Amino acid sequence: MFKKKNEMTCAQAQSLIDDYVGGLLDEESENLFNHHVYGCEACMEELKVNYSILTALKQLDAGEELSENFEGEVTGKVTAYVEKKRLHRILIRVAFGSLFVICVIFGMFLASVSSVYNDVTYSKNPEDTTVNFVYDGVPDYLDPVDKAISKYNSSAVNYIHSLKNSE
């Protein structure tokens, strides 16, 4: 019936004006109608005219006092609906954005907790010069910290062995 999922032609919108004014549209059709009329000046003018006539006839038939601002009523109704939907979309974006930020922070927290030195062991034998660092972060072949520790350990062990040999 409609051009795209979220679009309506002027002819389609104008054919729904009487049902809109009477409150007979289903929610999806009303959504599409409001979005179209909000952005289409010609259809908004047609809606204002028809709304004024149909509402005035209803009020006269019911013996009510005629409204003084039919145009403002219908414009306010369409605008309020579109603004409500816009605010809803913004709130959803903010909620998902906040959730994303929380997930990123939690992930960073987990990464930092798992990449600290979990275990450092020293030998109780004074002759044994090995120190074992256990690092649960980046794989050893990619980790510059692990490479530096290995190089330092090797240098320290070689230096201590050279001192022992020189005695």
Q: Is residue 56 part of a domain?
A: yes
Task: Look at 146 and 123; give whichever has higher pLDDT.
Answer: 146
DSSP H helix total and E strand total for the chain: 6, 2
- Among candidate residues 62, 83, 104, the one where a domain is terminated: 83
CA 97/CA 85 separation, integer angstroms: 18
Buried b / exposed e over 123-152, threshold 16 CB at 10 Å, is eeeeeebeeeeebebeeeeeeeebeebeee
- Among candidate residues 83, 100, 131, the one where a domain is terminated: 83
Same domain, 77 and 122: no
Residues 44-101 have pLDDT tens digits of: 888 888 888 888 888 787 787 777 777 788 888 888 888 888 888 899 999 999 999 9
The count of domains in the chain is: 2
pTM for the whole structure: 0.49
Q: Which structural domain, as residue segments, surrounds residue 124?
A: 117-166
Q: Is residue 89 part of a domain?
A: no
